[in-house]
Amino acid sequence: MVWTTLSAIFLLVYSAAAHSIRPLVLWHGLGDSYASPGMLEFVSMIKNVHPGIFVHSVYIEEELDKDRQAGFYGNVNEQLDSVANQLATIPELGHGFDAIGFSQGGQFLRAYVERFNNPPIHNLLTFGSQHMGISDIPICRPFDLICQAARRATKQAVYSSWAQANLVQAQYFRDPANLETYIATGSFLPSINNEDPLRHNDTYAKRLASLNGLVLIMFTQDKTVVPKESAWFGSEVVDDLSFTSAQRILRPATGRSIVPMHLQPLYVEDWIGLRTLDEQGKVIFETCEGEHMQISDCWEDFVREWTGEIRIT
C-alpha cells in the first residue's frame, strides 16, 4: 500500500516535471526550410534525447519553397519583426526557451535577443553563424539557381540601398577594406553589433547580457563562411596599422588577418553586452570537426548540456 502510494506520487511529480521541460526553438540556415526532411529529422533526434520537449522551428513563410527562398531574398529587419510576433503567440514559449541557430539563423536569433527577447531566450547555441559578418559570398551548390542568382546580385552591388533591403546575405556582408561604407549603408549587422555610433542602442547590451549561456560553435574546416572565425566573433582585417601583429592571427596567403573576439572594439567597449556575458563565464567556445554544417554527431553533447532543462515551478 505504501509502495503503491509512493509510486503514484512519483509518477505525478515526474509527469509535472516532464511538462516543465524548457522548450526549444530552432532557426534553420541558408538554403533550408523550417520543415525540410533534415530539419524534421533533427527535431526527431532532439526529442529522443529529451522526451517530452516542445520544439518550434521558425518560419518566414509557411510554404516550404517560399520559406527557403526567404533565406536568400527579403528584408532581415522585417523578417525579425515577423518572427518576434510568431514566437510571442506560441503559449508553450511564454515562460522562455532555449534556442539553436544554424548558420545565419544564429545571428538572427541573437538579433531577436537584442531587439525583443520577449519571451526570453535562456541558452543560445549558434552553429557556424556569421556574428561578425562575411567577407565573401558563399559558393552555391550546383544547379541551385536561387542561390546563384542571389550570389550574383549580392556581389554586384552589395552596399546598394536595394541590396541592403532585399538580399539577405548583403545585409551581413562586412568588407574589411570598406568598413565606413558597411556601417553607413548596412541596416542589419552594423545595427545588431552596435557599430554605428549614431545609432547605438544600449538596450541591446542589457538584453544579450541576460542570457544564461551563449554557445558559439565553429566548424574547423569551414570554407563557406569567410572567415570561419566569424562564428566566434572574429573578423578579417586588411593588413594595415589598425592592429599590431600581436593582435592578429596572420593569414599570409590572403594578406589579411583575423582579429579575435577579445580584441574587437564591440567586445572591448562592450557595445552589445558580450564582454559582460564573457566575464561571467557565459560565453562558451566550441568546435565541430569538418566543413560548414557538417554536424554529424557533434550536436548531441551540446543539446544534452544546454537544452532540455527541467524547470521546477
275: in domain: yes
- pLDDT, tens only, 254-312: 556 899 999 999 999 999 999 999 999 999 999 999 999 999 889 999 999 999 998 76
Q: What is the pTM of this model?
A: 0.88
pLDDT exceeds cutoff 50 at 114: yes
Partners of residue 27 on adjacent β-strands? 101
- Which CATH number fits the domain that encloses residue 180? 3.40.50.1820
pLDDT at residue 1, rounded to an integer: 46
Q: How confident is the model at residue 313 (pLDDT cuts 50, 70, 90)?
A: low
- pLDDT, tens only, 157-194: 899 999 999 999 999 999 998 999 999 998 899 999 99
Q: Which of 50, 56, 122, 292 is catalytic?
A: 292
For residue 151, give the C-alpha cell.
550570389
Range of the domain at 31: 23-306
Report, as an integer, the average pLDDT of 117-123: 98
pLDDT at residue 32, rounded to an integer: 97
pLDDT at residue 14, rounded to an integer: 42
151: in domain: yes
pLDDT at residue 18, rounded to an integer: 46
Q: How many separate domains does the chain show?
A: 1
Q: Which of 32, 98, 175, 222 is catalytic?
A: 222
Average pLDDT, the chain: 88
Measured CA to CA, the distance from residue 57 to residue 174 in angstroms comes to: 28
Q: What φ, ψ does residue 277 adopt, rounded to 5°?
A: -65, -45
Q: Which of 33, 57, 103, 129 is catalytic?
A: 103
pLDDT at residue 252, rounded to an integer: 45
Measured CA to CA, the distance from residue 234 to residue 20 in angstroms comes to: 37
pLDDT exceeds cutoff 60 at 202: yes
187: in domain: yes
Spell out a b/e string for 84-109, using b for 16 or more CB atoms within 10 Å of the CB, else e.
beebeeeeebeebbbbbbbbbbbbbb
What value, to the nearest 5°, has the Cα angle with vertex 126 and ends 121 and 130?
120
pLDDT exceeds cutoff 60 at 250: no
10: in domain: no
Report, as an integer, the average pLDDT of 237-263: 65
| Distances from the Cα of 15 to the Cα of 19, 48, 286, angstroms | 6, 17, 34
Mark whether 28 is an active-site residue: no
In whole angstroms, what separates CA 139 from the centre of its chain? 20
pLDDT at residue 144, rounded to an integer: 83
H/E segment holding residue 207? helix 202-208
Mark whether 297 is an active-site residue: no
Q: How confident is the model at residue 197 (pLDDT cuts 50, 70, 90)?
A: confident
Cβ-contact 157, 171 below 8 angstroms: no
Mark whether 235 is an active-site residue: no
- pLDDT, tens only, 64-104: 999 999 999 999 999 999 999 999 999 999 999 999 999 99
Q: Which residue has the cell 590572403?
A: 254
User: In the 8-state DSSP scheme, what is residue 222?
Assistant: -
243: in domain: yes
Q: What φ, ψ does residue 134 adopt, rounded to 5°?
A: -125, 150
Measured CA to CA, the distance from residue 181 to residue 45 in angstroms comes to: 43
Measured CA to CA, the distance from residue 26 to residue 29 in angstroms comes to: 10
313: in domain: no
Percent of the chain at pLDDT > 90 equals 75
Q: How confident is the model at residue 3 (pLDDT cuts 50, 70, 90)?
A: very low
pLDDT at residue 199, rounded to an integer: 77
Q: What φ, ψ does residue 262 adopt, rounded to 5°?
A: -70, -10
Cβ-contact 128, 102 below 8 angstroms: yes
Measured CA to CA, the distance from residue 115 to residue 261 in angstroms comes to: 21
257: in domain: yes
pLDDT at residue 239, rounded to an integer: 58
pLDDT at residue 11, rounded to an integer: 37
Closest listed residue to residue 271, CA positions, set 224, 203, 219, 225: 203
Locate the DSSP E strands across 20-120: 24-27, 55-57, 97-102
Spell out a b/e string for 35-48, using b for 16 or more CB atoms within 10 Å of the CB, else e.
ebeebeebbeebee
Percent of the chain at pLDDT > 70 equals 87
116: in domain: yes
